Structure 1
Amino acid sequence: MNTLPDTKQMLLHHLHEVRESLLWKTEGLSERELRMPRTATGTNLLGLIKHAASIESGYFGEVFGRPWPTPEEVPSEAQLDDDPNADFYATAEESAAQIIDLYRRVAVFADTTIAELPLDAPGRVPWWGERGDVTLERIIVHVIYDLSRHAGHADILREEADGAVGLIPRATNIPDIDQGAYVTKLRALAERFPG
């Protein structure tokens, strides 16, 4: 008896996990904290969620001839030409609740594409140029990879915001140790080397 999950279910599991991780990093923070840029390049938690919505609506929509039904909710190519970071921050008119709701709806839309198409379904990523001919399986893997990077960004931004750390709510993956002493140890080790 084969107890291994099929490939599509395995990929969906990982996609759902990374989405959960991204959304969890926004829970309990104020609108201001979600918008606050925390890196020199302006990376912010709400912007990561908006970008994730843009990623999934494009890759699981346009790429497979299934455009997102309300295109005004995600930055268009023209908007991105005018402001290349348009999908990395919420405008004054967009609330955190709207952006998070958008991402949840995009996730349902993406899951529908995945459910309705076989893994070998052909698609075309116009912004990839000559290498734009793809399959659904390749796009799912690409999106998991992309979102995983952003979930890592979100981990760090959330820790910066209020010290909350961990992988997912039910399993933080953080050892129960004196983190201050650990950081002091790492600083001492780093300072032994020339700058």
Structure 2
Amino acid sequence: MIDDFAKQYLHSDLREVRETMLWKLDWLGEYDIRRPLTATGTNLLGLVKHLSLSESRYFGEVFDRPYPEPLPRWDDTGQRGTDMWATEHETREEIVDRYRRVWEHSDTTITALAIDAPGHVPWWPRPDVMLFNVLVHVLTETCRHAGHADILREQLDGVTGIAAGTTNPRHDKAFWEARTAEIERAATAATERR
């Protein structure tokens, strides 16, 4: 039996990782939070925008509690992928504020429903779910994108960690050059042994 402890535990973790996602934007300029940092265009503000849409659908329409603001539809093929980046007309503040409003809506759904409350995810192979399934899915998805954000942020300015108060120790360029050289030597040696 899934109990309220599981619900509270998962919900607490989700709240923490949401804050981590926003912390990854702190102290960066507009260009750095928007620019493509991978071959597929992944960027920090786009990850936050994407999580807003994803979470609004999972804790909204899946439980017949639609998010009250208009958002792009995933089933609109013309809009597919546009949730992963911010246009020049969308501000950081708009996207961050929307994400926080989505949290409020999601938190209301999570609080109001029992952990075994039924939902329906029409795009899943087994569409009949419980709040438990969706909580795990959204937490997993948010953690996955927080990992992406960790790497993107490290590429931009070397800042790593899970939150503003718990950043990893900063080292100078020489430290990281020595560390990566050590890792490269180990990778080369392991390859040569095979």
TM-score scaled by length of structure 1: 0.89
Separation in 2, partners of 1:169, 1:109: 25
Structure-1 residue corresponding to 2:127: 132
Question: Equivalent residue for 1:183?
Answer: 180
SS of residue matched to 1:99: helix
Identity of aligned residues (%): 47
Shift of 1:34: 0.7
The farther-off stretch of 168-177 and 13-22 is 168-177
- Where does residue 119 of structure 1 map in the other structure? 115
- CA RMSD across the alignment: 1.9
Distance 2:134 2:17 in 1: 15
* Cα drift, residue 191 of structure 1: 2.9
Aligned to 1:92, what secondary structure does the other structure show? coil
For 1:60 and 1:84, the matched residues in 2 are separated by: 20
The answer to whether structure 1 residue 36 and structure 2 residue 31 are counterparts is no
> Which range moves more in the overlay, 84-93 or 171-180?
171-180
Q: Superposition pairs for residues 94-109 of structure 1, below 5 Å?
A: 94-109=90-105
- Do the aligned partners of residues 176 and 161 (structure 1) sit closer, same or farther apart at CA in structure 2, a change above 3 Å counting? closer
Residue 149 (structure 2) aligned to one of 151, 154, 161: 154
Amino acid corresponding to residue 157 of structure 2 in structure 1? D
Mapped to 2, the partners of 1:176 and 1:161 lie a distance apart of 15
| 1:103-147 per-position Cα deviation (integer Å, ceiling 9, x unaligned) | 01101110010000000100001221x411100011001100111
Please list every run of at least 4 consecutive aligned residues from structure 1 whose deviation after the TM superposition is greater than 6 angstroms: none
- Residue 86 of structure 1 corresponds to 82
> Structure 1: any 5+ residue segments left out of the alignment?
none
Aligned length: 186
Q: Specify every segment of 5 or more residues in structure 2 that has no aligned partner in the other structure, as ranges.
A: none
Q: Deviation at 1:176?
A: 7.0
Distance 2:90 2:171 in 1: 38
Structure 2 contact 117–131 (Cα < 8 Å) conserved:
yes
